[in-house]
Amino acid sequence: MQRIVIVGGGAGGLELATQLGRSLGRTSKAEIELIDANPTHLWKPLLHEVATGALDSGIDELNYRAHGKKHGFNFQLGRMSGLDRDNKHIILSPMVDDQGDEVLAERKVSYDTLVLALGSVTNDFGTLGAKEHCVFLDSRKQADKFHQTLLNEFLRANAKSGDNDQIRDLDIAIVGAGATGVELSAELYNTAEELVSYGLKNLKPQNLKVTLIEAGERILPALPQRISAAATKELEKLGVTVRTNTLITAATAEGFETKDQGPIKAKLKVWAAGVKAPEFMKTLGLETNRVNQIVVNRHLQTEDDNIFALGDCASMLQEDGKPVPPRAQAAHQQASHLFKALKARHKNKPMPEFVYKDKGSLVSLSRYSTVGSLMGNLTQGSMMIEGRLARLVYVSLYRLHQIALHGYWHTILLSLVGHINKVIRPRLKLH
Protein backbone atom coordinates (compact mmCIF):
# COMPACT_ATOMS: atom_id res chain seq x y z
CA MET A 1 0.00 0.00 0.00
CA GLN A 2 1.35 3.44 -0.93
CA ARG A 3 2.33 5.62 2.00
CA ILE A 4 1.77 9.39 1.71
CA VAL A 5 3.40 11.42 4.49
CA ILE A 6 2.52 15.08 5.03
CA VAL A 7 4.79 17.12 7.30
CA GLY A 8 3.11 20.20 8.74
CA GLY A 9 -0.47 20.56 9.95
CA GLY A 10 -1.10 24.18 8.99
CA ALA A 11 -3.92 25.32 6.74
CA GLY A 12 -2.63 23.54 3.63
CA GLY A 13 -1.17 20.42 5.22
CA LEU A 14 -4.21 19.63 7.36
CA GLU A 15 -6.67 20.25 4.53
CA LEU A 16 -4.67 17.94 2.26
CA ALA A 17 -4.42 15.20 4.89
CA THR A 18 -8.16 15.45 5.52
CA GLN A 19 -9.09 15.18 1.84
CA LEU A 20 -6.66 12.34 1.14
CA GLY A 21 -7.78 10.54 4.29
CA ARG A 22 -11.43 10.69 3.25
CA SER A 23 -10.69 9.57 -0.31
CA LEU A 24 -7.79 7.10 -0.02
CA GLY A 25 -7.29 6.42 3.68
CA ARG A 26 -10.79 5.30 4.57
CA THR A 27 -10.92 2.93 1.59
CA SER A 28 -7.43 1.52 2.34
CA LYS A 29 -6.17 2.60 -1.09
CA ALA A 30 -3.26 4.42 0.58
CA GLU A 31 -1.90 5.06 4.05
CA ILE A 32 -2.02 8.76 4.92
CA GLU A 33 0.11 10.10 7.77
CA LEU A 34 0.27 13.66 9.08
CA ILE A 35 3.21 14.81 11.21
CA ASP A 36 3.32 18.01 13.25
CA ALA A 37 5.34 19.32 16.18
CA ASN A 38 2.16 20.36 18.01
CA PRO A 39 -0.81 18.20 19.06
CA THR A 40 -3.42 20.75 17.92
CA HIS A 41 -4.17 23.03 14.97
CA LEU A 42 -5.17 26.68 15.03
CA TRP A 43 -5.66 28.71 11.86
CA LYS A 44 -2.58 30.95 11.71
CA PRO A 45 -4.37 34.15 10.56
CA LEU A 46 -6.17 34.10 13.94
CA LEU A 47 -3.00 34.22 16.07
CA HIS A 48 -3.19 38.00 16.53
CA GLU A 49 -6.64 37.52 18.08
CA VAL A 50 -5.25 34.87 20.42
CA ALA A 51 -2.46 37.26 21.39
CA THR A 52 -4.90 40.00 22.38
CA GLY A 53 -7.48 37.70 24.00
CA ALA A 54 -10.17 38.30 21.39
CA LEU A 55 -10.05 34.55 20.68
CA ASP A 56 -9.72 31.74 23.21
CA SER A 57 -7.32 29.26 21.62
CA GLY A 58 -8.50 26.50 23.94
CA ILE A 59 -11.94 26.64 22.33
CA ASP A 60 -11.03 27.04 18.66
CA GLU A 61 -8.11 24.60 18.43
CA LEU A 62 -8.49 21.26 16.66
CA ASN A 63 -6.86 18.03 17.91
CA TYR A 64 -4.95 16.33 15.09
CA ARG A 65 -5.24 12.80 16.47
CA ALA A 66 -9.01 12.97 16.98
CA HIS A 67 -9.50 14.64 13.58
CA GLY A 68 -7.38 11.97 11.91
CA LYS A 69 -9.40 9.14 13.42
CA LYS A 70 -12.58 10.70 12.05
CA HIS A 71 -11.23 11.45 8.59
CA GLY A 72 -9.08 8.45 7.73
CA PHE A 73 -5.47 9.50 8.39
CA ASN A 74 -2.91 8.77 11.08
CA PHE A 75 -1.20 11.45 13.15
CA GLN A 76 2.29 11.38 14.62
CA LEU A 77 3.64 14.03 16.97
CA GLY A 78 7.15 15.07 16.03
CA ARG A 79 9.45 17.73 14.59
CA MET A 80 11.22 17.00 11.31
CA SER A 81 14.98 17.48 11.48
CA GLY A 82 16.32 15.64 8.46
CA LEU A 83 15.64 13.82 5.19
CA ASP A 84 17.15 10.64 3.73
CA ARG A 85 16.08 10.65 0.08
CA ASP A 86 18.02 7.50 -0.84
CA ASN A 87 16.14 5.37 1.70
CA LYS A 88 12.96 7.47 1.44
CA HIS A 89 12.45 8.36 5.06
CA ILE A 90 12.36 11.52 7.15
CA ILE A 91 14.00 11.97 10.54
CA LEU A 92 12.11 13.26 13.57
CA SER A 93 14.16 14.79 16.36
CA PRO A 94 13.86 13.51 19.96
CA MET A 95 11.03 14.99 22.03
CA VAL A 96 11.60 16.10 25.63
CA ASP A 97 9.25 17.39 28.32
CA ASP A 98 9.50 20.66 30.27
CA GLN A 99 12.02 19.06 32.65
CA GLY A 100 14.26 17.98 29.79
CA ASP A 101 13.42 14.27 30.09
CA GLU A 102 13.08 12.36 26.84
CA VAL A 103 9.53 11.44 25.87
CA LEU A 104 10.24 10.07 22.39
CA ALA A 105 13.59 9.08 20.93
CA GLU A 106 14.72 10.07 17.44
CA ARG A 107 12.54 8.32 14.87
CA LYS A 108 12.57 7.54 11.16
CA VAL A 109 9.34 7.65 9.16
CA SER A 110 9.28 6.02 5.73
CA TYR A 111 7.34 7.39 2.78
CA ASP A 112 6.50 6.68 -0.83
CA THR A 113 5.28 10.21 -1.43
CA LEU A 114 6.31 13.10 0.82
CA VAL A 115 4.56 16.47 1.07
CA LEU A 116 6.30 19.28 2.93
CA ALA A 117 3.85 21.85 4.34
CA LEU A 118 5.94 23.32 7.13
CA GLY A 119 4.71 26.89 6.80
CA SER A 120 6.84 29.89 7.67
CA VAL A 121 8.39 31.74 10.58
CA THR A 122 8.98 35.45 11.13
CA ASN A 123 12.04 36.88 9.38
CA ASP A 124 13.93 39.33 11.59
CA PHE A 125 16.52 39.92 8.83
CA GLY A 126 19.29 39.50 11.38
CA THR A 127 18.33 42.71 13.20
CA LEU A 128 20.42 43.21 16.32
CA GLY A 129 18.51 42.33 19.50
CA ALA A 130 15.30 41.26 17.73
CA LYS A 131 15.39 37.64 18.97
CA GLU A 132 16.15 38.72 22.53
CA HIS A 133 13.70 41.59 22.95
CA CYS A 134 10.82 41.04 20.49
CA VAL A 135 7.75 38.84 20.46
CA PHE A 136 7.11 36.73 17.34
CA LEU A 137 3.63 35.43 16.57
CA ASP A 138 4.44 32.22 14.71
CA SER A 139 2.63 29.75 16.95
CA ARG A 140 -0.18 29.40 19.44
CA LYS A 141 2.38 29.06 22.25
CA GLN A 142 3.94 32.41 21.36
CA ALA A 143 0.52 34.06 21.05
CA ASP A 144 -0.57 32.71 24.44
CA LYS A 145 2.66 33.97 26.02
CA PHE A 146 2.15 37.44 24.55
CA HIS A 147 -1.43 37.46 25.82
CA GLN A 148 -0.33 36.77 29.39
CA THR A 149 2.40 39.41 29.16
CA LEU A 150 -0.10 41.90 27.77
CA LEU A 151 -2.56 41.29 30.61
CA ASN A 152 0.20 41.77 33.17
CA GLU A 153 1.27 45.05 31.57
CA PHE A 154 -2.32 46.33 31.54
CA LEU A 155 -2.60 45.45 35.24
CA ARG A 156 0.62 47.34 36.00
CA ALA A 157 -0.52 50.34 33.98
CA ASN A 158 -3.87 50.34 35.76
CA ALA A 159 -2.37 50.07 39.26
CA LYS A 160 0.60 52.44 39.09
CA SER A 161 0.22 56.19 38.96
CA GLY A 162 2.80 58.90 38.72
CA ASP A 163 2.63 62.59 39.47
CA ASN A 164 -0.89 63.97 39.90
CA ASP A 165 -2.29 60.43 39.86
CA GLN A 166 -1.61 60.11 36.14
CA ILE A 167 -1.70 56.52 34.92
CA ARG A 168 1.46 55.71 33.04
CA ASP A 169 1.16 54.95 29.34
CA LEU A 170 1.60 51.45 27.98
CA ASP A 171 3.88 51.74 24.94
CA ILE A 172 3.69 48.94 22.37
CA ALA A 173 5.62 49.00 19.10
CA ILE A 174 5.00 46.67 16.16
CA VAL A 175 7.56 46.30 13.38
CA GLY A 176 5.97 45.37 10.08
CA ALA A 177 2.77 46.87 8.69
CA GLY A 178 1.53 43.89 6.74
CA ALA A 179 -1.78 42.24 7.60
CA THR A 180 -0.55 40.84 10.95
CA GLY A 181 0.87 44.14 12.19
CA VAL A 182 -2.16 46.16 11.10
CA GLU A 183 -4.71 43.73 12.54
CA LEU A 184 -2.81 43.39 15.81
CA SER A 185 -2.69 47.20 16.20
CA ALA A 186 -6.47 47.46 16.01
CA GLU A 187 -7.09 44.46 18.27
CA LEU A 188 -4.93 46.00 21.00
CA TYR A 189 -7.30 48.97 21.26
CA ASN A 190 -10.28 46.65 21.40
CA THR A 191 -8.56 44.79 24.26
CA ALA A 192 -7.97 48.05 26.15
CA GLU A 193 -11.62 49.06 25.84
CA GLU A 194 -12.85 45.62 26.91
CA LEU A 195 -10.56 45.55 29.95
CA VAL A 196 -11.95 48.89 31.08
CA SER A 197 -15.45 47.42 30.92
CA TYR A 198 -14.27 44.44 33.00
CA GLY A 199 -13.02 46.55 35.87
CA LEU A 200 -9.70 48.19 35.01
CA LYS A 201 -11.29 51.59 35.56
CA ASN A 202 -8.05 53.54 35.94
CA LEU A 203 -6.80 52.51 32.54
CA LYS A 204 -8.13 54.48 29.59
CA PRO A 205 -7.76 53.43 25.96
CA GLN A 206 -5.84 56.65 25.38
CA ASN A 207 -3.18 55.39 27.79
CA LEU A 208 -2.39 52.71 25.24
CA LYS A 209 0.26 54.02 22.86
CA VAL A 210 0.69 51.75 19.83
CA THR A 211 3.31 52.56 17.21
CA LEU A 212 3.15 50.71 13.88
CA ILE A 213 6.49 50.79 12.08
CA GLU A 214 6.98 50.15 8.37
CA ALA A 215 10.21 50.41 6.38
CA GLY A 216 8.31 51.08 3.15
CA GLU A 217 6.36 54.10 1.98
CA ARG A 218 2.96 52.85 3.22
CA ILE A 219 1.31 50.18 5.31
CA LEU A 220 -0.11 47.04 3.67
CA PRO A 221 2.36 47.35 0.77
CA ALA A 222 1.03 44.19 -0.91
CA LEU A 223 -2.46 45.71 -1.26
CA PRO A 224 -3.71 48.58 -3.46
CA GLN A 225 -2.98 52.17 -2.44
CA ARG A 226 -6.64 52.95 -1.68
CA ILE A 227 -6.89 50.11 0.83
CA SER A 228 -3.64 51.15 2.47
CA ALA A 229 -4.90 54.74 2.80
CA ALA A 230 -8.25 53.61 4.23
CA ALA A 231 -6.56 51.37 6.79
CA THR A 232 -4.14 54.13 7.80
CA LYS A 233 -7.04 56.52 8.38
CA GLU A 234 -8.90 53.99 10.55
CA LEU A 235 -5.82 53.18 12.62
CA GLU A 236 -5.01 56.82 13.26
CA LYS A 237 -8.60 57.38 14.39
CA LEU A 238 -8.05 54.66 17.01
CA GLY A 239 -4.87 56.33 18.21
CA VAL A 240 -2.20 54.27 16.44
CA THR A 241 0.94 56.19 15.47
CA VAL A 242 1.81 55.02 11.95
CA ARG A 243 5.47 55.50 11.06
CA THR A 244 6.44 54.68 7.48
CA ASN A 245 9.86 54.98 5.81
CA THR A 246 11.32 53.94 9.17
CA LEU A 247 14.14 51.42 9.13
CA ILE A 248 14.83 49.56 12.38
CA THR A 249 18.51 48.94 13.11
CA ALA A 250 18.28 47.35 16.56
CA ALA A 251 15.88 46.24 19.28
CA THR A 252 16.68 46.99 22.92
CA ALA A 253 15.02 46.54 26.29
CA GLU A 254 13.75 50.12 26.02
CA GLY A 255 12.42 49.96 22.45
CA PHE A 256 13.81 50.25 18.92
CA GLU A 257 16.68 52.13 17.35
CA THR A 258 16.08 53.52 13.89
CA LYS A 259 18.47 54.40 11.08
CA ASP A 260 17.84 58.15 11.06
CA GLN A 261 14.68 58.92 13.06
CA GLY A 262 15.85 58.41 16.62
CA PRO A 263 14.72 55.83 19.20
CA ILE A 264 11.16 54.55 19.59
CA LYS A 265 10.17 53.78 23.17
CA ALA A 266 8.26 50.56 23.79
CA LYS A 267 7.57 48.29 26.75
CA LEU A 268 6.26 45.52 24.50
CA LYS A 269 7.87 44.93 21.13
CA VAL A 270 6.39 42.76 18.36
CA TRP A 271 8.25 41.78 15.19
CA ALA A 272 5.91 41.07 12.29
CA ALA A 273 8.05 42.12 9.32
CA GLY A 274 8.48 39.44 6.71
CA VAL A 275 8.45 35.65 6.68
CA LYS A 276 10.83 32.86 5.77
CA ALA A 277 10.74 29.08 5.76
CA PRO A 278 12.38 27.27 8.72
CA GLU A 279 16.19 27.31 8.65
CA PHE A 280 16.62 23.52 8.49
CA MET A 281 14.95 23.47 5.05
CA LYS A 282 18.34 24.46 3.62
CA THR A 283 19.85 21.21 4.90
CA LEU A 284 17.49 18.78 3.15
CA GLY A 285 19.43 18.60 -0.11
CA LEU A 286 16.60 20.19 -2.11
CA GLU A 287 16.84 23.47 -4.02
CA THR A 288 15.85 26.46 -1.87
CA ASN A 289 15.69 30.23 -2.38
CA ARG A 290 17.14 33.01 -0.21
CA VAL A 291 14.33 32.72 2.38
CA ASN A 292 14.72 28.93 2.69
CA GLN A 293 11.63 28.09 0.62
CA ILE A 294 11.80 24.86 -1.39
CA VAL A 295 11.66 25.50 -5.11
CA VAL A 296 8.86 23.57 -6.84
CA ASN A 297 7.58 23.30 -10.41
CA ARG A 298 4.05 23.86 -11.69
CA HIS A 299 3.03 20.49 -10.24
CA LEU A 300 4.25 21.64 -6.76
CA GLN A 301 6.93 18.99 -7.21
CA THR A 302 10.57 19.36 -6.15
CA GLU A 303 13.60 18.10 -8.06
CA ASP A 304 12.83 14.75 -6.38
CA ASP A 305 9.77 13.30 -8.12
CA ASN A 306 8.53 11.77 -4.85
CA ILE A 307 8.65 15.00 -2.84
CA PHE A 308 6.14 17.86 -3.07
CA ALA A 309 5.82 21.14 -1.16
CA LEU A 310 2.99 23.60 -0.62
CA GLY A 311 2.14 26.74 1.30
CA ASP A 312 4.59 29.23 2.79
CA CYS A 313 7.54 26.81 2.68
CA ALA A 314 7.28 26.42 -1.12
CA SER A 315 8.34 28.77 -3.90
CA MET A 316 6.59 28.50 -7.25
CA LEU A 317 6.82 31.10 -10.01
CA GLN A 318 3.64 32.06 -11.82
CA GLU A 319 3.41 32.74 -15.56
CA ASP A 320 4.21 36.42 -14.97
CA GLY A 321 7.41 35.44 -13.18
CA LYS A 322 6.16 36.45 -9.75
CA PRO A 323 6.14 33.92 -6.91
CA VAL A 324 2.90 32.67 -5.42
CA PRO A 325 2.41 34.89 -2.32
CA PRO A 326 2.68 33.30 1.16
CA ARG A 327 -1.01 33.62 2.05
CA ALA A 328 -3.58 31.30 3.57
CA GLN A 329 -5.64 31.41 0.36
CA ALA A 330 -2.62 30.16 -1.62
CA ALA A 331 -2.11 27.25 0.80
CA HIS A 332 -5.83 26.42 0.55
CA GLN A 333 -5.73 26.41 -3.27
CA GLN A 334 -2.53 24.35 -3.35
CA ALA A 335 -3.95 21.77 -0.94
CA SER A 336 -7.05 21.37 -3.12
CA HIS A 337 -4.90 21.11 -6.25
CA LEU A 338 -2.43 18.65 -4.75
CA PHE A 339 -5.29 16.44 -3.59
CA LYS A 340 -6.37 16.05 -7.21
CA ALA A 341 -2.78 15.74 -8.45
CA LEU A 342 -1.82 13.00 -5.97
CA LYS A 343 -5.00 11.06 -6.74
CA ALA A 344 -4.09 11.23 -10.45
CA ARG A 345 -0.52 10.15 -9.65
CA HIS A 346 -1.87 7.28 -7.56
CA LYS A 347 -3.71 6.07 -10.68
CA ASN A 348 -0.61 6.63 -12.89
CA LYS A 349 -2.32 9.48 -14.70
CA PRO A 350 -0.75 12.86 -15.64
CA MET A 351 -0.82 15.47 -12.89
CA PRO A 352 -2.41 18.87 -13.64
CA GLU A 353 -0.43 22.11 -13.24
CA PHE A 354 -1.23 24.48 -10.41
CA VAL A 355 -2.54 27.96 -11.28
CA TYR A 356 -2.90 30.46 -8.44
CA LYS A 357 -6.05 32.60 -8.52
CA ASP A 358 -5.90 35.75 -6.43
CA LYS A 359 -9.28 36.11 -4.75
CA GLY A 360 -8.35 39.47 -3.21
CA SER A 361 -7.24 40.41 0.29
CA LEU A 362 -9.06 41.55 3.41
CA VAL A 363 -7.73 43.12 6.59
CA SER A 364 -9.77 43.15 9.80
CA LEU A 365 -9.42 46.16 12.09
CA SER A 366 -11.04 44.31 14.98
CA ARG A 367 -14.69 45.33 15.56
CA TYR A 368 -14.02 48.81 14.22
CA SER A 369 -13.81 48.13 10.49
CA THR A 370 -12.69 45.75 7.75
CA VAL A 371 -11.15 46.83 4.46
CA GLY A 372 -9.94 44.98 1.40
CA SER A 373 -10.33 44.10 -2.25
CA LEU A 374 -12.05 41.20 -3.96
CA MET A 375 -11.34 39.10 -7.05
CA GLY A 376 -7.79 40.28 -7.49
CA ASN A 377 -7.22 38.36 -10.74
CA LEU A 378 -10.25 39.88 -12.41
CA THR A 379 -10.14 43.43 -11.10
CA GLN A 380 -6.43 43.94 -10.32
CA GLY A 381 -7.54 44.76 -6.79
CA SER A 382 -9.86 47.54 -7.92
CA MET A 383 -13.05 46.22 -6.26
CA MET A 384 -12.61 47.77 -2.83
CA ILE A 385 -14.98 46.88 -0.02
CA GLU A 386 -15.15 47.92 3.62
CA GLY A 387 -17.45 47.89 6.61
CA ARG A 388 -19.97 45.15 7.37
CA LEU A 389 -19.82 43.55 3.93
CA ALA A 390 -16.05 43.27 4.15
CA ARG A 391 -16.34 41.85 7.67
CA LEU A 392 -18.80 39.22 6.46
CA VAL A 393 -16.44 38.16 3.67
CA TYR A 394 -13.48 38.14 6.09
CA VAL A 395 -15.28 35.78 8.48
CA SER A 396 -16.31 33.58 5.56
CA LEU A 397 -12.62 32.88 4.78
CA TYR A 398 -12.27 31.07 8.10
CA ARG A 399 -15.56 29.26 7.49
CA LEU A 400 -14.22 28.00 4.14
CA HIS A 401 -11.22 26.57 5.98
CA GLN A 402 -13.56 24.86 8.44
CA ILE A 403 -15.71 23.49 5.61
CA ALA A 404 -12.60 21.96 4.01
CA LEU A 405 -11.84 20.24 7.32
CA HIS A 406 -15.28 19.34 8.64
CA GLY A 407 -17.87 19.67 5.88
CA TYR A 408 -20.86 22.02 5.75
CA TRP A 409 -23.04 20.57 8.54
CA HIS A 410 -20.25 20.42 11.12
CA THR A 411 -19.19 23.97 10.19
CA ILE A 412 -22.75 25.24 10.68
CA LEU A 413 -22.72 23.71 14.16
CA LEU A 414 -19.34 25.30 14.93
CA SER A 415 -20.66 28.66 13.80
CA LEU A 416 -23.71 28.23 16.04
CA VAL A 417 -21.49 27.34 19.00
CA GLY A 418 -19.42 30.43 18.30
CA HIS A 419 -22.49 32.66 18.48
CA ILE A 420 -23.62 30.98 21.71
CA ASN A 421 -20.18 31.51 23.26
CA LYS A 422 -20.41 35.21 22.50
CA VAL A 423 -23.49 35.30 24.72
CA ILE A 424 -22.45 33.06 27.60
CA ARG A 425 -18.68 33.75 27.75
CA PRO A 426 -16.72 36.98 28.37
CA ARG A 427 -16.01 39.05 25.26
CA LEU A 428 -12.31 38.78 26.07
CA LYS A 429 -10.11 36.03 27.47
CA LEU A 430 -9.26 37.46 30.90
CA HIS A 431 -6.67 34.89 32.06
195-246 pLDDT, tens digit each: 988 888 887 778 899 999 999 999 998 888 888 998 999 999 999 999 999 9
Q: Mean pLDDT for the chain?
A: 89
The answer to whether residue 50 scores a pLDDT higher than 90 is yes
Split at pLDDT 50, 70, 90, the class of 388 is: low
* C-alpha distances out from residue 413 to 55, 123, 405, Å: 18, 37, 13
State CA 87 to chain mean position distance: 33
* C-alpha distances out from residue 117 to 90, 93, 208, 229, Å: 14, 17, 38, 34
Query: Mean pLDDT throughout 397-414?
Result: 91
pLDDT given for residue 377 in this prediction: 45
Strands 360-365, 369-374: pairing kind:
antiparallel
pLDDT given for residue 380 in this prediction: 47
The answer to whether residue 262 scores a pLDDT higher than 50 is yes
Query: Mean pLDDT throughout 273-295?
Result: 94
State CA 264 to chain mean position distance: 26
Asked if residue 281 lies in contact with residue 287, where contact means CB atoms within 8 angstroms, the answer is: no
> What is the sign of the dihedral through the CA atoms of 283, 285, 291 and 293?
negative
CA distance 395 to 399: 7
Helix (H) or strand (E) holding 335: helix 328-346
Query: Mean pLDDT throughout 362-378?
Result: 70
The answer to whether residue 370 scores a pLDDT higher than 80 is no
The pTM assigned to this predicted structure is 0.91
Other CB atoms within 10 Å distance of the CB of residue 258: 17
pLDDT given for residue 381 in this prediction: 45
For each of the domains in the chain, give its residue range(s) and CATH number, in order of start: 2-120+277-346 (3.50.50.60), 130-274 (3.50.50.100)
Q: Which of 13-27, 67-81, 198-212, 372-386 has the lowest mean pLDDT?
A: 372-386
pLDDT given for residue 165 in this prediction: 60
The number of C-alpha atoms within 13 Å of 4 and in the hemisphere containing its C-beta is 28
Split at pLDDT 50, 70, 90, the class of 161 is: low
Burial degree of 418 (CB within 10 A; 0-12, 13-18, 19+): middle
Split at pLDDT 50, 70, 90, the class of 379 is: very low
CA distance 343 to 374: 31
